[in-house]
Structures are given as C-alpha cells and as structure tokens.
Structure 1
Amino acid sequence: MNETKVDWEVRRYEVGEVEGIPLTKIICDKWDKIWAFQAKPDDLLISTYAKAGTTWIQEIVDMIQHDGDLEKCKRASTYERHPFIEWVFHENSPTGLDLAEAMPSPRTLKTHLPVQLVPPSFWEQNCKIIYVARNAKDNVVSYYHFHRMNQIMPEPGTWEEFFEKYVTGKVLWGSWYDHVKGWWDAKDNHRILYLFFEDIKENPRREIQKVLQFLGKHLEKEVLDKIIHHTQFEVMRRNPMANYTFLPPEILDHSISPFMRKGTVGDWKNYFTVAQNERFDEEYKQKMAGTSLTFRMEL
C-alpha cells in the first residue's frame, strides 16, 4: 500500500448522506455497487460502530480461524485480511469491495454500516454476523482521537464541537444510539452474536468461548490461552499487522494519537466536563428508553 502514497493527495473527506446516514462522499458515490454486493452463505461479517473494538474482534476471529497460528495471522494487514466492504480509500487504490470480491471463500468481512444499510444479500444468504458494541462515553472519546490522527477523516474540530456532533448523530455512520439499538433488535431474527467491549475486557476467556461456539469451533486450552494472550491490547498494539502503522503517516498520524490508543473502559472521565456528563446522561436516558439493551460505562 505504501508504494502508492506518492500519487495520493491526502485531504480530509467531504461528507454526504445515504438514507440520512452521514458517510464520506466517496462512499456515497459508489453506494449502488456497495448495496448490490453479493454475500456468500459462508461469509462471516464483523460489524461494529466505529471505534468499538473492531480491530480487536477481527484479531480474535482471525486467530480462532487459524487455530492460534501467529504466522498465518501476520500474513497481511487487518484491512487486507478482512475487507471493509463499504470503505473507499482513494480513487487509485482498491476499494473494500474490490478486496472482498477477489478473496477466496470462506471470507471474513467488516462493516460499520447501521443494520438498515447492510447489503441485502447478507440477510438473503443467512450469513453469520458478529457485532461488538461499546459504551457511548468511551466510544465518543476514542472516535474523537481517531478523527484527530486520521488525516482523511472529516475535521473533528474541538472536543466540545465533536461531542456535540456525536450526541446529535452528525458523525460518519450516524447515531451511536440508532446503530447499537438497530443491531440489538436484528439479533432476534438473524444469526447475530452480539458482544460488548466491556465484557471482553473484563473476561476475555468467557467472551472468546462465545465466539468459538458461534463459529462452531473447538480449540484446546493451550490454543485458547495463546489467543487470549496475543489479543491483549498491549500485545496487539505492538503488532504491525493490526496496529495500522502499515499506513503512511500522511494518512494515519500516530504522533498525534496512536490508532490503538488506550483500549480501556472509563477513559471518558478524563474528558467529559460535569456539564457534558449531565447533558449526555439526559440524552442517553431519553434515547435508550424502551430498549432492553444496557451498557456499563465503567468496570
């Protein structure tokens, strides 16, 4: 990927909309192709709201699929191992769709799309889907730092400005509330394993066992121990195939904030003002009323 960087004019993406959901203009321009994507029955889709532990669950799944073989899991970057179906980097580079279509089955794919924008073939083919949700307070902090370091994401503005955009759902991939609730409701009618970032953090063994069961895999205890070790935040942070340092600093500037920043629960307390916290709690109460979905904001 680095070889093409000389041709790239790196600038922050403009934002458009698909059915009211903010997406980059470059994604909107290719939307018809994305919507028409043909899933296969043995595809596995990993779905999350952005910055909710996506790379973490991708690494867990990859290690499970390769029986804990580290070399196989370092065969390529996360982006190439699990194509990001709606992502369009640049006119001159392969899109997530291109990578997905060129990949032999069985494929593991990734999306941040809200449930209503997932290409219909995934439902028609009854694909298995793993969804990871993260509490909104930590999610907004992580998303803010990601916008700062990612030189092609829309300009985040100040923390206060970004907080406002997030609360009102004016960020890429739309409202966190709609996203987590939409997928929560969908799990009753589809083959969806719904996991929580906080649960994986608290008890990785228990949560990875759920993934194993969902994928119909059985691994020996030693292999499971190895997977738990190698998918710890500090270990993954040093893994160049997972930490996104394979992208040039013109795109992801790790000197501003690392792609894998903290991976903790409760970091929001270092950012939220008392007023922001009250505002958020009020909003949260209204928007989460009537759902059985609950989150832990700290461990």
Structure 2
Amino acid sequence: MDSVGRPELFDFHKVPMTHQYTENWENLQNFRARPDDILIATYPKAGNTWLSYTLDLLYFGQTSHSHEREDKIFLRVPMLESTFHYLEPGPDPSSDPIPICLKGTDLVNNLSTSPRLIKTHLPVQFIPKSFWEQNCRIFYVGRNAKDIVTSYFNFERMSVLNPDPGDWSSYFQRFMDGKVLFGSWYDHVNGWWKKKQTYSCIHYMFYEDLIEDTARELDKICSFLGLSPTVEEKESIVSEVQFDAMKKNKVVNHDELRTMKVNISPFMRKGKVGDWKNHFTVAQNEEFDKHYEKKMKDPILKFRNEI
C-alpha cells in the first residue's frame, strides 16, 4: 500500500491486479461451482451492479419487502475474487477493534439462495474451471471503451480500495496501454467474446442495449434463463432498475460505504451512453480511435459509443 493507503498494481499472470483480488487465489481457483450457479462477468464499470440487481429481482423479487432485502447487493451477489479486510468495534468501548476478513469465496459458499448469483470482473482466463465443468450459465456485459475509461477514472478517484488514478491525461494513456486494475479492456471483451464461440452457456450483452431498451433486453435474459415472469413482474423490474431508481436505492447504491469518497464522485454517477464526450479532448478522441482500430480485430464484435 502507498502512503495514503491506496493499493498498488502489480503484474499477476500478465494482468495488472491488486492484492485484494489475488490473496485468496488458491481458494478461488479451487472454487466448486454448482450447476445452477449464475455468473455475472464484466469489465469494471460496465453494468455489473445493474445486472446483478436485475437478476436478483428476477429470482428473489418476491422477498422485496421482507427483511432479507435489507442486504446490500454486494452481499446478495458477492464478488468471487474479492477479499475485504476491515475493523469492527469491540464489544465495549475499552476493547480493541476486531479485524474482519470477508472472502468472496466464503460469501458465495454461505449463500442460502438457489440459484447462487455470483459476480466477477476477472478476465476469462482466470475463471475457476468448475464453472465450465458444471456448464454454469454466464452473463457477460460489454460497454464501449470510451465510456468505460471515463467512468473508471471517476470511480478510481473516489474509491480508496482502488489504485490512485492520477490525472486524466495519464490515466487515459494507461487505460489504452492496459495498465489499470483487471488489465486491458480490449483483452477482456475479446477474451470473453472468443469464449462465447465455444461455450454455449454465455449470454453476451451490451450496456448500450440495456440503456436503449431495458424491457427488450430483460426478455432476452428471461429467455436465456428459461424464466417466464408475468407482464406485471417484468414491468416492475424494468422500473426498479432504471438509473434514477437505483441511485435512490440503498441496496444497490454504495455511497454510504466508508471506502467511497462521494464528495469526489458518487458511486452511481451518470449511467449514460456518450458521457465520454465531456472528458475527451479532440486530440484524445483522434488518438483513441486510431489505437482502437489497431486493437479491435474482430469485425463482428462492435460497440456503440452513442445511441
């Protein structure tokens, strides 16, 4: 950790990572998936919380007014690779704080729900092999790179669990070079896209499509999962997962967490397509477009920078 408590990146099997996501690696790789587990995979800031909440409502929405729904979404849909260390107050004012370690693998194994909903930001090569062996259904959400770098920069400014992003221009360059947490966006979206060609249980989605027509994409999700909610249930879910509704919802908005410096930027900032235009200079946009053309080789995999 550096002087202000921010984690530092290091090379981990050719992917920049921090210890928060690697210290439980052996348990992660030996994780035993179940056939009905559902994995939600995204690059950071591509809609993982959004889809997690959507699936949680689809499967467990009937408990929305019970005490169970008080749980934060990151406890209901744990991040498999994460390890959180923190201190809880002792039993009385004179006692020392109690160190707590929350491992994502333990949180998943302690879930009482069925199916278990699990989230990850890992590139496809790091996914535990049991997910493939058990033919688990997997969602992947891709988001255009320009909005990703914009959102990721603002997120890393406010999250003390992430490396210090520095200034915008240097971050912009590091993102293009793949020198950010969880590595290259290009490798991530292409790696999962390639896996989809040989593993039929991946539903590859796009953030921009979800924004454009949430109801249409929800129908596709239900078809993939073999679910048949009523028209009223679908309408209710579509309403609950709109950005403004989620921003007011303490189950999914993490602004209250001590690790989130919301005076710098809110956890749920804008949730729009095309906000990159408010950050990119003309020169940066031209540079990014040239770099993008070199890195994105698959003519079928296309992202929309605006809708």
Q: TM-score, normalised by structure 1?
A: 0.93
2:245 pairs with 1:219:
no
For 2:218 and 2:27, how far apart are their aligned partners in 1? 34
Tell me which of 47, 54, 69 is aligned to 1:74: 69
For 1:29 and 1:219, how far apart are their aligned partners in 2? 40
1:184 corresponds to: 193
Answer yes or no: is the 8 Å Cα contact 1:68–1:224 preserved in 2.
Answer: no
Tell me which of 257, 266, 282 is aligned to 1:258: 266
- 1:89-130 per-position Cα deviation (integer Å, ceiling 9, x unaligned): 227321111101212342100000001111111111110001
For 1:112 and 1:76, how far apart are their aligned partners in 2? 21
The CA RMSD over aligned residues, in Å, is 1.6
For 1:213 and 1:26, how far apart are their aligned partners in 2? 35
Tell me which of 12, 15, 20 is aligned to 1:21: 15
Identical-residue share of aligned pairs (%): 45
2:46 pairs with 1:37:
no
Once the 2 structures are TM-superposed, how far is the Cα of residue 223 of structure 1 from its aligned partner?
A: 1.0
Answer yes or no: is the 8 Å Cα contact 1:49–1:112 preserved in 2.
Answer: yes
Answer yes or no: is the 8 Å Cα contact 1:78–1:242 preserved in 2.
Answer: yes
- 1:252-272 per-position Cα deviation (integer Å, ceiling 9, x unaligned): 111110000000000000000
For 1:106 and 1:89, how far apart are their aligned partners in 2? 24
Answer yes or no: is the 8 Å Cα contact 2:139–2:205 preserved in 1.
Answer: yes
2:97 corresponds to: none
2:268 counterpart letter in structure 1: M
1:278 counterpart letter in structure 2: E
For 1:164 and 1:68, how far apart are their aligned partners in 2? 46
For 1:76 and 1:67, how far apart are their aligned partners in 2? 13
Gaps of 5+ in 2: 87-99
Answer yes or no: is the 8 Å Cα contact 1:147–1:153 preserved in 2.
Answer: yes
Once the 2 structures are TM-superposed, how far is the Cα of residue 235 of structure 1 from its aligned partner?
A: 0.3
2:290 corresponds to: 282
Answer yes or no: is the 8 Å Cα contact 2:24–2:103 preserved in 1.
Answer: no
Instruction: Give runs of aligned pairs for residues 64-103 of structure 1, distance below 5 A.
Output: 64-67=58-61, 69-71=63-65, 74-90=69-85, 92-103=100-111
1:29 counterpart letter in structure 2: E
- 1:191-244 per-position Cα deviation (integer Å, ceiling 9, x unaligned): 001110000000111101011111111011111111110100000000011001
1:5 corresponds to: none
2:167 corresponds to: 158
2:48 pairs with 1:49:
no
Instruction: Give runs of aligned pairs for residues 87-166 of structure 1, distance below 5 A.
Output: 87-90=82-85, 92-104=100-112, 105-166=114-175
| Shift in alpha-carbon separation, 1:68–1:160, aligned structure 2, 3 A | farther
Moved over 6 A (4+): none
Once the 2 structures are TM-superposed, how far is the Cα of residue 186 of structure 1 from its aligned partner?
A: 1.1
For 1:116 and 1:291, how far apart are their aligned partners in 2? 22
For 1:82 and 1:122, how far apart are their aligned partners in 2? 16
2:5 pairs with 1:11:
yes
Answer yes or no: is the 8 Å Cα contact 1:17–1:28 preserved in 2.
Answer: no
Q: Which of 165-174 and 93-102 deviates more?
A: 93-102
Larger Rg: 2
Q: TM-score, normalised by structure 2?
A: 0.90
Once the 2 structures are TM-superposed, how far is the Cα of residue 162 of structure 1 from its aligned partner?
A: 0.8
- 1:46-82 per-position Cα deviation (integer Å, ceiling 9, x unaligned): 0000000111111111111124653257331011001
Answer yes or no: is the 8 Å Cα contact 2:215–2:238 preserved in 1.
Answer: yes
1:292 corresponds to: 300
Aligned length: 289
For 1:256 and 1:62, how far apart are their aligned partners in 2? 29
Gaps of 5+ in 1: 1-8
For 2:37 and 2:103, how far apart are their aligned partners in 1? 18
For 1:225 and 1:10, how far apart are their aligned partners in 2? 45
For 2:56 and 2:65, how far apart are their aligned partners in 1? 11
Once the 2 structures are TM-superposed, how far is the Cα of residue 176 of structure 1 from its aligned partner?
A: 0.3
For 1:136 and 1:254, how far apart are their aligned partners in 2? 24
Answer yes or no: is the 8 Å Cα contact 1:82–1:108 preserved in 2.
Answer: yes
For 1:165 and 1:115, how far apart are their aligned partners in 2? 21
